[in-house]
Structure 1
């Protein structure tokens, strides 16, 4: 199975049913796949060859889904660019992957000047107004002829993140990886194929976690609605307007949505979240104000989600008196082989802490240009990806994630994982979010420092927070200082940016 074959089967099966609605209009299944097919043939007519890397800089919309399918149909390798990263990071990714072309939205004309100059107008496709081959003309002038649909193990895309030196690294994603993820999302997160009347809302960037639902809903013949740069109020309005049944968000946006909601949306059948666990009080608020049908899933750039799932029943039991369940990442999915191991790669006993290792069809085959890099961080041991996540396994195959190895704080000779301290902080009523970092300290090596924000109408002084921590944590894990801020900085995927917090604190910058 390949993505192109999957798309063609969806078009043949669902025909004129609406497939995607976005700021750029709507497409039926037939229209969507026909346009993707024509774009694929037009791209090859530009001189591109299967296996070449094509960068894609598009906002949420029908065109984003068309481009994704077109690149797969053409056998080209999709390299999606995050608009939030900016030109410098895009150019570094282009250098690393040896990009052969760029598909971009005209609103990014100024920011893509360097990328375009390196490729030339013949290898640049523009949606809207801007230099390059017009998107609409390519559709209209696409040559006839069959497309080679390739094989499951052909490279379908590169997913970029930062290496240990900050230089971008591209995890290889094959058709097999993406379809394995789509099947696991369908059966483990969604609980089975969505019904025909289901509606998925892409409220976050579809090149990140929300995009994991593109193929499951395409396979099921259900509608997908695209929003671009939406805030909480706009998301709630769209849920009501389109009677949205499914949505996935990062935890920070889930909590914003819960605060903005005046009544639970009646249409929601699932609200998924990923990227990090949510504090118990945030989960309770989401359950009461949005929907009790909550699902959490865990995965990585290098190992496509879901690797583990905390399902709706787990959330219900957790809120009914088993809060320890809500701190877990859930049960291991059947599609992956996941273990917790020591430094030698051997599994540790249940309940003991170690590094999470994983193998299976959703796991990358490695990094692009890996032979020329020595800063990639993650590695493989006996066929298992070393995730860099620290955790332990409990009864029933459940995984508890302790923290990231690289975030560990060493203070006074003790290892302290920030997440444990952050969980203690967010138990304090009135805390909206919190982060813990280690700052250089002559006496301790690193000094545990907390940064936090408060919910509206709550005033929590740093001294109160420090007292709260001393009541709940061993002394060596307690923050030495705390700083209240309005908002914590987030990275491009919506997670709290610990490195940026540490940088601001070390430079005594004001928020």
Structure 2
């Protein structure tokens, strides 16, 4: 097993002059990338940073992001990626929580991050022009001495699942965690197929889903093409003109591709795999993606606390589900290599196939724990005897496929009945013309909670509330049907591209309070 620095060195030696990264900031060969990673790692240590120190990394999609991602971890330091879409107050909360010792930031964020920058004095590195040590000057003056190998259980990353409200939760990730993800991504999600002639396109933020593919394609000697932001036109051009063969999208991005009437499978014929994760994809949307985008669909499931993939639904499962087993399309798939998975009741007893309970998982993919968990039961008890209690509800079928029902906190209790929003969302998404949908429970004096659905439609689509309700009457038990239905112009998205139900709950609560 190797640490990340050794993986970078291996690829630099093996693939030398081949293009490793191409995007904003130019292109780099594997040899150039390896040299710059070593220089940055040595430069950070020369600043006086000690093993285990936390380094904030604030950048958008660009080549330097891949360098800093690899170099910080290769140096024995702990990388804390700041999502550039968050508010500066959220950055400050995360910086304070982790006790950050240094900051690398992209110059475009200097104004928003001004107060954050001032806290780091001599340990501030700027990519571009701005306060701090110039990134390129730092590399030019740095040592090229080979990096010492690290123990695979060395902490190398803090990944925050929430920095927007309350106390941030930082998951502790080690080199062992990332190596497990590398193996499972390569063997299962990518089915061992990537090679030096393949091109992975980072169409979404590398801070999230797309970043999971940096190591697999680095090790495979393949090119990584970086798009500065999500743009359907640029994505199609990457496939048609630049030979992109693999990508990962979230369902909202897939929906925006499908909204283009000029897009068909022929234009995306070069795609060997389109993986998706981050949120459920309604079966009807899945069918459209299969028919219009590519038959090479792979879904994977994971968490901040259990680095993906935990389970996967492969291309063969998609084909079978679309052909004659529609329930299969609602599955998150079977456990990845080296992943243990179970469903348990409230007392921790394993449940048989078909019974709904909490999903738990164990293996090298599970985080060490949470940062600053002492004295907090909600953090310190997340991992027990090696098992991560995910907070997700689901059930297993006879073939060990996982069917996620919902988050524990999202379940609606109306009139004494348990209602899982995802089931209602999937039914509403079947209505022709519906683009996106969110279902949640709203406090109700009679029912406890009432099922409330908000939905958007594709451009020029003629969809009425009555059509949606009639479809729900045909497909759902009476107690599961929405008691409140709203067609809206748009649904708020989180920084990771998921529908932000938290903001919807706050909006509806504010409206209710004003009545």
TM-score (norm 2): 0.96
> Is the CA contact (8 Å cut-off) linking 1:165 and 1:375 kept in structure 2?
no
Counterpart of 1:33? Answer: 34
Corresponding residue number in structure 2 for 1:392: 395
Q: How many Å apart are 1:418 and its aligned residue?
A: 0.8
1:286 aligns with 2:299: no
Deviation at 1:160, TM superposition (A): 0.2
* Cα distance between partner residues in 1 of 2:179 and 2:464: 49
Distance 2:65 2:403 in 1: 35
The residue aligned with 2:233 is 233
Q: Does 1:70 align with 2:74?
A: no
Q: Which residue of 2 aligns with 1:186?
A: 186
Q: Compute the displacement of 1:163 (Å).
A: 7.9
Alpha-carbon distance between aligned partners in 2 of 1:151 and 1:455, rounded to the nearest angstrom:
51
**Deviation per residue, 1:110-134 (Å, 9 max, x gap):** 11111111111x1100000110010
Q: Is the Cα–Cα contact under 8 Å of residues 20 and 33 in structure 2 kept in the other structure?
A: yes
Query: Within 5 Å, which residues of 2 pair with 1:407-446?
Result: 407-446=410-449
State the shift of 1:91 in Å: 0.5
User: 1:44 Cα deviation (Å)?
Assistant: 1.0
Unaligned runs of at least 5 residues, structure 1: none
| Residue 460 (structure 2) aligned to one of 457, 460, 469 | 457
The two structures, once aligned, show a CA RMSD in angstroms of 1.7
Cα deviation for residue 164 of structure 1 reads: 11
Distance 1:312 1:164 in 2: 36
What is the CA distance between 1:193 and its match in structure 2? 4.2
Alignment of 1:158-197 (within 5 A): 158-162=158-162, 166-197=166-197
Q: Quote the Cα distance in structure 1 between the aligned partners of 2:13 and 2:291.
A: 41
Q: Matched residues in 2 for 1:304 and 1:13: separation?
A: 27
**Contact 1:125–1:134, Cα closer than 8 Å, also in 2:** yes
State the distance in 2 between where 1:254 and 1:448 align.
26
CA displacement 1:278-325 (0-9 Å, x = unmatched): 112211211122111100000000001111111111111111121111
Tell me if 1:129 matches 2:129.
yes
Aligned residue in 2 for 1:53: 54
> Normalising by structure 1, what TM-score?
0.97
Contact 2:369 2:380 in 1 (8 A): no
Q: How many angstroms apart in 2 are the aligned matches of 1:354 and 1:54?
A: 38
**Count of equivalent residues:** 509
Runs of 4+ in 1 over 4 A off after TM superposition: none
Give the match for residue 84 of structure 1: 85
Counterparts of 1:309 and 1:164 in 2: how far apart (Å)? Answer: 29
Q: Does 1:488 align with 2:491?
A: yes
Q: Which whole-Å CA distance do the structure 1 matches of 2:52 and 2:281 have between them?
A: 40
1:93 corresponds in structure 2 to 94
Q: How does 1:175-324 map to 2 (within 5 A)?
A: 175-260=175-260, 261-264=262-265, 265-324=268-327
Alignment of 1:139-150 (within 5 A): 139-143=139-143, 145-150=145-150
CA contact (8 A) 2:456 2:487 kept: yes
* C-alpha distance in structure 2 between counterparts of 1:449 and 1:281, whole Å: 21
- Contact map agreement 1:201 1:226 (CA 8 A) in 2: yes
SS in 1 for 2:74: helix
1:476 aligns with 2:479: yes
Alpha-carbon distance, 1:505 to partner: 2.2
SS of structure 1 residue aligned to 2:49: coil
Tell me whether 265-274 or 421-430 shows the greater mean CA deviation.
Answer: 421-430
Return the alpha-carbon distance in structure 2 between the equivalents of residues 464 and 378 of structure 1: 46
Residues of 1 paired with 2:124 and 2:196: CA distance? 37
Structure 1 residues 358-385: Cα deviation after superposition (integer angstroms, max 9, x where no partner): 0100110100111143453971233210
Q: Secondary structure at the match of 1:410?
A: strand
